Chain A
């Protein structure tokens, strides 16, 4: 019986070898590297997807001008999820089964990232997610990686800053979106760990035009030390403006969802003195000259501005980091899905816009808590606080 088995296995091995050489041949002959993207370029999360797509397009153009990665041209196939989780799943399936992409970058929001994730796990293709929810990489899934800071890090960073400034009793105003809900859960979790109290919780919808009623409730609560707003897009600006209008006299903190120039532009004077947790990109010019991130950030900002004639945001930075991870992994291991995945997981010491990436089998996010900065709006621009 054993002899037979050996004989049966032999042709299998031969065919495997043949397959791997044919893959190598394909790679050498300049077979394109196919990047699939599912981004929320339209819809309520377009402020995330739009800069991300522009960044990916810019990265692909640059690769191809320079002769591709390892001599192979790069192709970008993009579908617009409109922020809808079910569309994101459909498009991910199309990228995987019809377009046969080598890697997917996308899922602008937590919800769409979570929708793409089961598909890539099934098709066994690496996925670099741009959503922020900690649930994307916890528990760790084999094929899914994630670039932005998690909302858990944001919650901890903000709460520690509050605590250091003597605020123990917190009002929380979170969006009803997936982003806001996940943020609210993380705030509760971290507040308990740090021995702080969330004394009042309110919510708002992303398309609310007025949240005075919720803020009036918060104002009538006597012993609140600070207000945390967990939302993204236009909502945080509306909340900040209404809070200013009703004279809510509390230090206001915003999550990374408000970390863009657009927040200041929309909220105007109401943005003054608001704290924002953000990646370092918004204050690249204020970083110390010996900060390892400074060069990467200023380079990305310059390229983005030259190409699109607008200032770069943290959301574009996320996509840029995804392309940096991909480039390094492809250079090391090519695009065969197993080896590409392993190469992403082995990346260490890669300095990117969000921080220094040290991926590991236990950590598919790979950046540390302290690469997140606390900024404050002063005279209509972001200033680095810590």
Chain B
């Protein structure tokens, strides 16, 4: 029993980190209908910025905040420099632009920060918490707590604020939204900025656990994307559920069967889900608007 709980806790911790990335995917997808493959690299930008801002002597709290701002700026820049100039492009072309942006961010990070691994101190100490034979590090609570808080905040933003509704309206039909007086360009800028900041938040809180590295975004981007598709692209609850399912299944796989096949789990899951539930667990059923 103790083992099972340990695997579960491990899975939830890993899953929460995937969830933060998956949420970023959803955010951009909801606003623009494209998949932003630079989302994982926003995580990297956040984590690496935090490490280097702190190393320059800035106190931790401020450094983490600035790192999130840097992530947001990266998102804004991606929109201004890559997406906006290609306004009339098809989604597939925009997606390819984001792939290019991902490679660009990675290249810049490699030149600016080098190829080493960097560790960030944990927020509230290293002493593990033991309970019912289960061990959990305090940082895990931060990961899980921040994920929950962000899901709640995003939920409120999209259902209770005019701006959030404007983002949703833009995602449903950009032309109609423009006619309704919504500044769609502004909305898109906002959602890319938010996605960048969200990615950076993920980077900042996982860096003490996984270490920051200029290529850390690849794994996070991949797993976060799988989680988002698993939950049904665009659904925030779905993204979190997908991420937790992925994290827990991986941990159970490593614990009970074999750690060799742990990474295959993500891909088997996505095949199964897409085969039996093509729109994901919580996705809107594919309704064609006529």
A-facing mask of B242-271, CB < 8 A → 1, else 0?
000000000110110011101100000000
Which residues on the A side are within 8 Å of B216 (C-beta)? 207
| A266 and B119 form a contact (CB under 8 A) | yes
Q: Which residues from B are CB-within-8-Å of A47?
A: 115-117
Q: Interface size on A (CB < 8 Å)?
A: 35
Are B251 and A266 in contact (CB-based, < 8 A)?
no
Contact with B along A209-245 (1 / 0, CB 8 A): 1111110110010000000000001100110000001
Taking the closest CB of chain B, its distance from the CB of A258, in whole angstroms, is 12
Of the listed stretches B5-13, B29-37, B157-165, B182-190, chain A binds B5-13
CB of A247 within 8 Å of the partner chain: yes
- Say yes or no: A213 contacts B255, CB within 8 Å: yes
Inter-chain contacts of A44 with B (CB < 8 A): 215
Contact A220 B209 (CB under 8 A): no
A214–B6 Cα distance when bound, in Å, is 11
B211, A245: Cβ atoms closer than 8 Å: no
Interface residues of A (CB under 8 A from B): 41-44, 46-47, 50, 176, 202-205, 207-214, 216-217, 220, 233-234, 237-238, 245-247, 262, 265-266, 268-269
Please give 11 more A-B residue pairs, beta carbons under 8 A apart, in addition to A213-B6, A213-B255. Answer: A47-B117, A50-B114, A176-B260, A209-B14, A210-B10, A213-B254, A216-B255, A217-B255, A247-B130, A266-B211, A268-B119
- Which 6 A/B pairs are nearest by Cβ-Cβ distance? A209-B210, A46-B115, A213-B254, A213-B255, A212-B10, A246-B135
Asked if A245 and B137 make an inter-chain contact with CB atoms under 8 angstroms apart, the answer reads yes
Q: List 25 A-B contacts (CB under 8 A).
A: A42-B115, A44-B215, A46-B115, A50-B116, A176-B260, A207-B218, A209-B14, A209-B17, A210-B251, A211-B259, A212-B10, A212-B135, A213-B252, A214-B254, A214-B255, A214-B259, A216-B10, A238-B210, A238-B211, A246-B6, A262-B116, A262-B117, A265-B119, A268-B119, A269-B126
* Cross-interface CB contact of A203 among B11, B209, B210, B260, cutoff 8 Å: B260
Q: Counting chain A CB atoms within 10 Å of each CB, which of B10, B130, B259 scores highest?
A: B259
Contact: B115 with A50, CB < 8 Å? yes
Complex contact B206–A209 (CB within 8 A): yes
Q: Which residues of A contact B119 (CB under 8 A)?
A: 265-266, 268
State the Cβ distance, A368 to closest chain B Cβ, in Å.
32
| B262 nearest CB neighbor, chain A only | A205
Q: Is the CB of B10 within 8 A of A213?
A: yes
Q: Which of B81-119 contact A (CB under 8 A)?
A: 110, 114-117, 119
Contact of B209 among A205, A207, A209 (CB under 8 A): A209
Chain A, Cβ-Cβ closest to B114: A50
Check B209 against A210 for contact (C-beta < 8 Å): yes
Whether the pair A41, B10 counts as a contact (CB closer than 8 A) is no
Chain B residue numbers with a CB within 8 Å of A268 are 119, 126
Please report the C-alpha to C-alpha distance between residue A262 and residue B119 in the assembled complex, in whole angstroms: 10
The yes or no answer to B154 lying at the interface (CB within 8 A) is no
Smallest CB gap from A43: residue in B: B215
Give the distance to chain A from B3, nearest Cβ to Cβ, in Å. 6
For B210, list chain A residues within 8 Å (CB).
Answer: 209-210, 238
Bound together, the chains give a CA A47 to CA B214 distance in angstroms of 12
Complex alpha-carbon distance, A220 and B1, angstroms: 12
Answer whether residue B219 sits at the interface, using C-beta atoms and an 8 A cutoff.
yes
Contact of A245 with B117 at beta-carbon distance under 8 Å, contacts A203-B259, A220-B3 already known: no
In the bound complex, residues from chain B placing their C-beta under 8 Å from that of A209 are 14, 17, 206, 209-210, 219
Query: Per a CB cutoff under 8 Å, which of B3, B128, B206, B258 touches A245?
Result: B128
Verify B3–A216 contact, CB threshold 8 A.
Answer: yes
A266 to B118, CA, bound (A): 7
A216 engages B14 (CB within 8 Å): no
> Measured between C-beta atoms, what is the minimum distance from B182 to chain A in Å?
40
Q: Which residue of chain A is the closest to B106 with respect to CB atoms?
A: A42
**Are B7 and A216 in contact, CB atoms less than 8 angstroms apart?**
yes
- Most chain B CB atoms below 10 A, which of A42, A204, A205, A216: A216
Report chain B residues within 8 Å CB of A212: 6, 10, 135, 251
Name the A residues within 8 Å of B259 (CB-CB). 202-204, 211, 213-214
Task: Report the separation of the CA atoms of residues A56 and B213 in the bound assembly, to the nearest whole angstrom.
Answer: 24
Residue of A204, A212, A238 most packed against chain B (CB within 10 A): A212
How distant is the Cα of A247 from the Cα of B134 in the complex, in angstroms?
11
| Residue contact B128 to A246, C-beta cutoff 8 Å | yes
Closest to B216 in A: A207
Q: Give Cα distance in the complex from A210 to B7, angstroms.
A: 11
Distance of A156 from chain B, by nearest CB (Å): 25
Q: Which residues of A contact B130 (CB under 8 A)?
A: 247
Chain A nearest CB, measured from B27 CB (Å) = 23
A42 and B110 within 8 A (CB) = yes
B252 contacts across to A, CB distance below 8 A: 213
Most buried by B among A210, A211, A246: A210
Of the candidates B128, B211, B251, the one having the most CB atoms from chain A within 10 angstroms of its own CB is B211
With contacts A205-B262, A237-B211 known, is A245 near B135, CB below 8 A?
A: yes
Complex: chain A residue closest to B17, CB-CB: A209
Q: Are A213 and B17 in touch, CB under 8 angstroms?
A: no
Chain B neighbourhood of A211, CB < 8 A = 254, 259
For A176, what are the chain B residues with a Cβ–Cβ distance below 8 Å?
Answer: 260
Residues on A with beta carbons closer than 8 Å to the beta carbon of B126: 268-269
Chain A residues near B13 (CB-CB < 8 A)? 210
Q: Give the distance in Å from the alpha carbon of A220 to the alpha carbon of B4 in the complex.
A: 12
Query: In the complex, which residues of chain B have a beta carbon less than 8 angstroms from the beta carbon of A269?
Result: 126
Contacts A217-B255, A245-B128, A266-B211 known; A207 to B219 CB distance under 8 Å? yes
By beta carbon, the residue of chain B nearest A202 is B259
Measured CB to CB, the nearest residue on chain B to A208 is B262
| CB of A375 to closest CB in B, whole Å | 20
Residue of B11, B114, B126 with most chain A CB atoms under a 10 A cut-off: B126
Q: In the assembled complex, which residues on chain A have CB atoms less than 8 Å from the CB atom of B14?
A: 209-210
